[in-house]
Structure 1
Amino acid sequence: MLRSQIRLVPKLNVAPAVTRRSIYTSVLESDINITPAGKVNLAVGSGGRSSRTGYTATVFGASGFLGRYLVSKLARHGTNTIVPYRDDLKKRFLKVQGDLGVVNFVEIDARNLQSIEDAVAHSDIVVNCIGADYNTKNFTMADVNIALAERIAQAAKDAGVPRFIHVSSYNADPASESVFYATKGIGEARVREIFPEATVVRPAQMFGREDNLLNYLGPKIKMWTPGKNSKEIWPVHVLDVARALEIIAYDNSTIGKTFELYGPEKLTYQEIRQMVHGITENFAQVGPFGYNFFDYELPLPLAKLIASVSQLVWWKLPNPDQMQRHLIHQKIDQSAATFKDLGLGEEEKTKLADVLFSYVKQWRHPLIAQKGGPNKRMLDDMRHVQHFTE
């Protein structure tokens, strides 16, 4: 048989039922996809790093805690990802999240409308992950959570972007006693007015390697808190939220919906501290006041006063509104969609206890393995044994 007559037939492994995560990428169902605006996107490749989905997505807040994981999930399958940035040093690590030419950077200014419009001009999907839970000398929480959200939504609307996803927060409520929750609630309402087809996502407090939950409750002494750390939350893994956002971005059935994304179990701040302490065994104390699982009660006005004074330093410390949020339990909107509506069941949610050790092990004392006492003399003896014996 001549070589030219040989026909190679690829071997296909066809599953009985094809799911949304088994054909091209982890989310696309077909290699031909039509956006709500009528644009046809052709996916090329087998779904790996060198493939292309045909989509272009802009992720605001890409260098933040949630944004970096979302960029990774979008870019690793070849979605052209636009990363608006302000600080050049904070965005460099995102370049390697995708193949050459996949992750692209556009410098923006939060008050420069033209720069925001340029960032969304050619996108099929725009995701706003920007949020602020404290004030700075340049931007208040209202500036970021309301005014900037309005500008991004308006720019996306004017550019004819078919999919806009606004990441809000749990407990978002314009009438909340917390400035952060109130501004997030107002921001949601303004986005809905400007872009009615927007998808609003309200994640619970997220945990992960660079989070504001474990890094806030874990390595530091959090004894001086209002409510004795009794705040109740449903903590959710940041990777689960990023995965949900990835599905939402390509799923047109989520247009106009509101999602509440929360974890599989309810915990208090105090219970989280106990879990962390069981790993780190941190017996730290301040003067005569030792580590106490029940923590020390601090009146809210005094806590706010201390937090206000701490804002005089140039690094980030707990602020007065954070003290207020300590007294507001998480409330779940039962009318909102959840992970389940995205095909992600309870078994696919990550429990805090399953990954906690990997996130807090660096706070363990290096001599804990030798199980010595917490007093200075015993630690000195253990160091001597550790360094001068074989």
Structure 2
Amino acid sequence: MSQPLPVTVPIVTIFGGSGFIGRYIAQRMARAGWRVRVAVRRPHEAGFVRPYGVVGQVEPIQANIRDDASTRAAIAGASAVVNCVGLLGESGKQTFEAVMADGAGRIARIAAEEGVGELVHVSAIGADPESDSAYGRAKAAGEAAVTAAFPSAVILRPSVVFGDGDGFFRKFAGIARVAPLMLIPNPDTKFQPVYVDDVAAAAALAITGDVAPGVYELGGPRVARLSRLVHEMLAVIRRRRWLFAMPRSMASLQAWAGDTAQKASFGLFTNTLMTRDQLRMLAKDNVVAPDAKGFAELGIKPTPMEAVLDSYLYVYRPHGQYDAIQESAARLWN
């Protein structure tokens, strides 16, 4: 039977630790022997993180980064803090400015006041105060607030992140499962997909290793256009679909309709397909800058997506996991 950890074990607080990237960081820190506080708004929905460690090692706690008191309570006593909180779309009080700018600054300020040793802030490639996208501007404002309050912070800017639980390849795979053809907005936009556990490894190294402060842009081994990535995803899920470039006017109308429906329903409907702000982001390449620090400086070799996609996208195949069995049987008889 596993034994609880002694109270002297260092504590890391991971804001957004039950989210896509956060849960991978939580697992890595638990394996490294740390106590892990998974700080989320609804801890009753994050109970699945407890088995990441031994009894009492990984615990979801309540925190809202729009509030000083709960943020401070989540940070108190921690040796390190990670902020993984992000939004792809706004809803009610959860705005880009409130969460990704003000919230990020609040975490950094309180972490400094509480004497935290290490702060890791997960941002995104595309953070730019001059961005056409409100998301990009809020990310940039968050980075500026973090740097001002906690100068030794490590800021990680990943490109589009893939892995089990992602919202990128799984979204397109879900569309391919029901649609005979696929309309792709901005198909020539370039991405540099990065494996989620590589991002988690970078965060863990920033917490436990000797990593210089500053910004690190994280991208996978390969740059590819969006249309190419969708083609490769279709090959993995064994589906043939016609791909067409979605006209800009059609994409804009679809995004406007989704945003309008969300606003008119007072949040009862959420535009999960594509918002107008996401469409603006999609118009710009999402790749590591030539002069940026990245995985090389961290000593991490990024994982190619070809080594991972099959492990979680198989569920979108016509017969799920049984497609591979049928293919294997067919080879035996041929």
User: What is residue 181 of structure 1 aligned with on the other side?
Assistant: 136
Structure 1 residue 323 corresponds to structure 2 residue 279:
yes
User: What is residue 92 of structure 2 aligned with on the other side?
Assistant: 137
Is the 1:50–1:78 Cα contact (8 Å) retained in structure 2?
no
325, 339, 343: which one aligns with 2:299? 343
User: What is residue 237 of structure 2 aligned with on the other side?
Assistant: 280
- Tell me by how many angstroms 1:115 deviates: 1.1
Distance 1:200 1:279, change over 3 A: closer
297, 305, 308: which one aligns with 2:256? 305
Structure 1: segments with no counterpart, 5+ residues: 1-47, 284-290, 371-390
231, 242, 248: which one aligns with 1:292? 242
Normalising by structure 1, what TM-score? 0.74
Structure 1 residue 191 corresponds to structure 2 residue 146:
yes
Structure scoring higher RCO (CA < 8 A, sep ≥ 6) equals 2
User: What is residue 268 of structure 1 aligned with on the other side?
Assistant: 225
1:149 maps to a residue whose letter is: A
Normalising by structure 2, what TM-score? 0.86
Higher mean displacement: 329-338 or 352-361: 329-338
Identity of aligned residues (%): 28
Structure 2: segments with no counterpart, 5+ residues: 325-334
- Tell me by how many angstroms 1:324 deviates: 1.4
1:296 maps to a residue whose letter is: M
- Tell me by how many angstroms 1:268 deviates: 1.6
User: What is residue 364 of structure 1 aligned with on the other side?
Assistant: 317
Higher mean displacement: 134-143 or 98-107: 98-107
User: What is residue 329 of structure 2 aligned with on the other side?
Assistant: none
User: What is residue 115 of structure 1 aligned with on the other side?
Assistant: 70
Post-superposition Cα deviations, 1:262-305, rounded to whole Å, max 9, x if no partner, equal 1000112211111121233445xxxxxxx422333242543432
Post-superposition Cα deviations, 1:134-189, rounded to whole Å, max 9, x if no partner, equal 10123111111101111111110110112111110011101101111111011101
**1:247-262 alignment to 2 at 5 Å?**
247-254=205-212, 256-262=213-219
Q: Secondary structure of 1:58's partner? A: strand
2:242 maps to a residue whose letter is: N
Q: Secondary structure of 1:165's partner? A: strand
Is the 2:125–2:287 Cα contact (8 Å) retained in structure 1?
yes
Is the 2:185–2:245 Cα contact (8 Å) retained in structure 1?
no
Is the 2:195–2:304 Cα contact (8 Å) retained in structure 1?
yes
**Distance in 2 separating the partners of 1:120 and 1:100:** 21
166, 173, 184: which one aligns with 1:218? 173
**Distance in 2 separating the partners of 1:359 and 1:83:** 24
**Distance in 2 separating the partners of 1:338 and 1:233:** 16
How many correspondences in the alignment?
311
Is the 1:49–1:98 Cα contact (8 Å) retained in structure 2?
no
Task: From the two aligned structures, give the one with the greater helix fraction.
Answer: 2
User: What is residue 163 of structure 1 aligned with on the other side?
Assistant: 118
Post-superposition Cα deviations, 1:114-136, rounded to whole Å, max 9, x if no partner, equal 11111111011111011112101
**Distance in 2 separating the partners of 1:340 and 1:209:** 24
**Distance in 1 separating the partners of 2:153 and 2:61:** 23
Query: Which structure: larger Rg?
Result: 1
Is the 1:225–1:298 Cα contact (8 Å) retained in structure 2?
no
Q: Secondary structure of 1:294's partner? A: strand
Distance 1:306 1:316, change over 3 A: closer
